[in-house]
Amino acid sequence: MKKIFLAVTVLLLGSCTNLDQEFHDRVTPETFFKSEKDIKAALYRPFTHARWYLGEDRWNLQEYTADQFAITTKGRHWYNGGENERYHYHRWTPDDGWVWGTWRGTLMGVALALDAKKDLEKLDYTKFALTQADKDDHVNQLNTLIAFFYLRGLDYFGGLPVFESLEGESLPRKTDVETFAHVEKLLKEAIEKLPKKVITDKEEGAFRQAAAATLLARLYFNAEAYIRKPMFAEAKKLCQDILAKQYGEYSLDPTWYGPHGFKNNESKEIIWSIPSEFNKLQYDWFFSVFYHYNTAKYFDIDGGLNNGAHLQPSLTPTGAPYSALYKLGSPFEKFNAADLRKKQYKYKGGGNYEGMFIYGPHFTPAGDVIVGGEEYKDKPMVFVDQVGRFSEVGPGKRFATIADLPSKMSEGEENTGVRIVKVPIPNNTDKNLRWGADNPAIRLTEVQYMLAECLMREGDKGGAATLINAVRKRNFDGGIDPDPVTDANLDDYRMLSEWGTEFLAEGRRRTDLIRWKKFTSDSWWDHTPSDVHYNRFPVPTQAISGNNNLKQNDGY
């Protein structure tokens, strides 16, 4: 609706689906907006970008660079010019696509929110039968969203160009400290002005006080990685206040699946979520890449699948546990055998389901064998918690015995790896429920775990264990946990294990490893330590080409 400078215009091109916009010199907000519907359309547009932003490239950078997920090469599939290996081995460059997509997506989110904010600030809301309070809330929503994008960008890249408006020349990057301070200022102001949640509220995508407070706690919780200044005490205070309901009414869900199920908009645990609904703004970006081509028969639903991603293996080709070699990784093994989440995913009808994984023999709901189409063409599919070319073992084949099998990124097969079903998938009978689960972007469990870690770092391991075990018990029949956290067993690796199991596949693993100084210093399956500069991603070549005021991060 206005002329904006070229650098931001370039950012807006070619990102997520249907994001192209026309900007006109002579159309003003006062003449463009005709109704409350127009106002809400402008307000919601940056939030639809946030829906896209939470998945795909941003998720990829958080998970495929860390110790829980991988996209192995599976025969003729998924080498992708070495892309997946570069991220796994920490060899990415400024020219890699996920890095560019994340830089562009971050600043595009800021630009969209700033654009909407500037338009809405010019309006007289009374002309639309709305109040000044409505206007203030809309502006505060957008300010919080801007802080969200900058916080994520700070996590990925460090200092960013900080825009207060969309006018002017291409800006250089602010320092880490300046970017941090900008996010802090926006969130502190938002906390004071946003409404609190009351117990009867359902989550429909809007920010409330607790969401801004949790984002500020995240900022402080990871401050040492961002600005080399530990701020765990500040994070602790915010978490205590959130749990004490000073920012609204929230409580832990009594079940493990409540925050992730078809009706998770009703969960008292959700602090901020992105709405999802079948054939609308669907929370489904992961569907095709996580599952085997024939897993649609397992789900009894339609959908194109391309069999890429899976959990990193817990077992060597011979069946020995990797946990004997590495303290990180082995994500499936980290779940206790009695954990309800470790069951095979099974849709039971009527929106009910159990389990969170696909592993072992693969059958249709009717019990028919599902066969493979590549290495195991017309043979029963059996998903294994291992990586190796088992189909090439035997007389006259590539490997004489299983003991000869290498296990690395280049050696996957179509049945390689345990698959996760964090977002429930109904069958065709209940197709109306498909993608009915919202994306739980912020959960109260995160606040509880942040507080636990803060207490642990202060030496109060008992207090930390109590907070973690309050969550863990819902994962077991009768709340009986066979392996609770204790003062004696809680160390940095157990804390990371708790983060890893509770938030598996929620797009945060890299950040947690960096906070514990293990992302570049530790080993896990088919990964050795890398240089410390890989704690941050490079400024993409395409960004620097469009703005020569941008300086590259160290090491690239």
| Tens digits of residue pLDDT in 346-357 | 999 999 999 999
- Cβ-based neighbours of 550, under 8 Å, separated by 6 or more: 161, 172, 173, 539, 543, 544
DSSP for 179-202, please give it: HHHHHHHHHHHHHHHSPPB-TTPP
CB-side exposure of 230: number of CA atoms within 13 Å? 9
Q: What separation, in Å, do the N-terminal and C-terminal C-alpha atoms of the chain show?
A: 38
Helix ranges restricted to H, 158-267: 176-193, 209-221, 223-227, 232-243
Residue with the two structure tokens 């972007």: 441
In the 8-state DSSP scheme, what is residue 540?
A: P
Residues of the chain with pLDDT under 70: 1-31, 168
CA distance linking residue 77 with residue 80, whole number of Å: 8
Question: What is the structure's pLDDT at 31?
Answer: 64
Share of the chain residues as helix, strand and coil, in percent rounded to the nearest 5:
45, 10, 50
> 315 φ, ψ to 5°?
-125, 145
Contact yes or no for 38/116 (Cβ under 8 A) = no
Collapsing DSSP to helix, strand or coil, 138 comes out as helix
Question: Which segments of 301-394 are extended strands (E)?
Answer: 310-311, 346-349, 352-354, 357-358, 360-361, 382-383
Instruction: Let me know if 23 is exposed, middle or buried by CB neighbors in 10 A (0-12, 13-18, 19+).
Output: middle
Per-residue confidence (pLDDT) for residue 368, from 0 to 100: 98
Give the pLDDT score at 28: 59
- pLDDT at position 29 is 63
310-311 and 69-70 beta bridge pairing: antiparallel
Tokens linked to 415? 């049945």
140 near 190, Cβ under 8 Å?
yes
Mapping DSSP onto H, E and C, the string for 477-538 reads: HHHCCCCCCCCCCCCHHHHHHHHHHHCCCCCCHHHHHHHCCCCCCCCECCECCCCHHHHCCC
